Structure 1
């Protein structure tokens, strides 16, 4: 269904592409992660386990950056994984402010069991497109993501926003 936004042609095309990209990404995410509930894992918990499995121990900040989550949200995710015996946390001796997160043997066993199923599900999703279209999709989304990231990095307001404290209204 075409959008009903009464803007310019350029705005309408951009909005249409955005909506289609978002809907496709959401559909793929739901399909790819459906099996995680069978293992009592959330998407964020799985992402933490997978990152630790492939990269080894990481700080909470590094984990947040790797899995594209806020550090505040990640604290609760790690709390729950630690409660379930899947990860452990300890202070880094060289910088006591930093907590290092490590997979436990139980966490390693779980991710080693879940990851092949996850990869197979993703493979099956992308088999819905011909291989050349999958390659084109990967290239286009990478190009867009890098361009947007560069634009954000070049934005002079970004540094000003980091320097200014966020004021919460008492409404």
Structure 2
């Protein structure tokens, strides 16, 4: 009988961990997790087409467009014409974007994926099937969800990282 209480408690702890990380990230950097992931992906590659960013961070093209719009409004990225194909637009990180990345913590899923990758194959299979079953039990298995732990928008009234 207490098993369901333990399960619900664990689910709430996961939700709280995601919320706390998101609040900390937003407070420290003014970025949400997807914004940070996109900024990091572009920074690593130097310049990137939006379609390539979408593949790199496993988000839809529409979501990437929205995130890049927000990052551009915040002065963290610029859009530039590709040198090789003048029709193509590439995203580049600005100096302000590089400053923002310097002190940013690792994305929440980074530590999770490191620990998850250290598990035995049987453990990963058990966890994946169990969590998929849980998603089905709360009727969330049909939702379109990116493999990142938090999504949000930047807005002008959010705290900005000190320069």
In structure 1, the partner of 2:37 is: 47
Q: Provide the aligned C-alpha RMSD in A.
A: 4.1
* Mapped contact 1:33–1:118 kept (Cα < 8 A): no
| Structure 2: tracts of 5 or more residues without a match | 5-10, 129-163
Q: Distance in 1 between matches of 2:24 and 2:68?
A: 20
Count of residues in correspondence between the two structures? 121
Alignment of structure 1 residues 6-45 onto 2, 5 Å:
29-38=18-27, 39-45=29-35
Q: 1:31 offset after TM fit, Å?
A: 4.8
| Structure 1: tracts of 5 or more residues without a match | 3-21, 145-171
Q: How high is the TM-score relative to the length of structure 2?
A: 0.56
Question: CA offsets, 1:53-83, max 9 Å, x none?
Answer: 2222111001111111111111111111111
2:124 alignment partner, SS class: helix
In structure 2, the partner of 1:140 is: 124
Q: Does 1:101 align with 2:84?
A: no
* Mapped contact 1:60–1:100 kept (Cα < 8 A): yes
Alignment of structure 1 residues 1-171 onto 2, 5 Å:
29-38=18-27, 39-114=29-104, 117-118=105-106, 123=111, 135-136=118-119, 140=124
2:31 alignment partner, SS class: coil
* Mapped contact 2:46–2:92 kept (Cα < 8 A): yes
Q: Distance in 1 between matches of 2:67 and 2:92?
A: 14
Q: Distance in 2 between matches of 1:54 and 1:121?
A: 18
Higher share in helix: 1
Q: How high is the TM-score relative to the length of structure 1?
A: 0.53
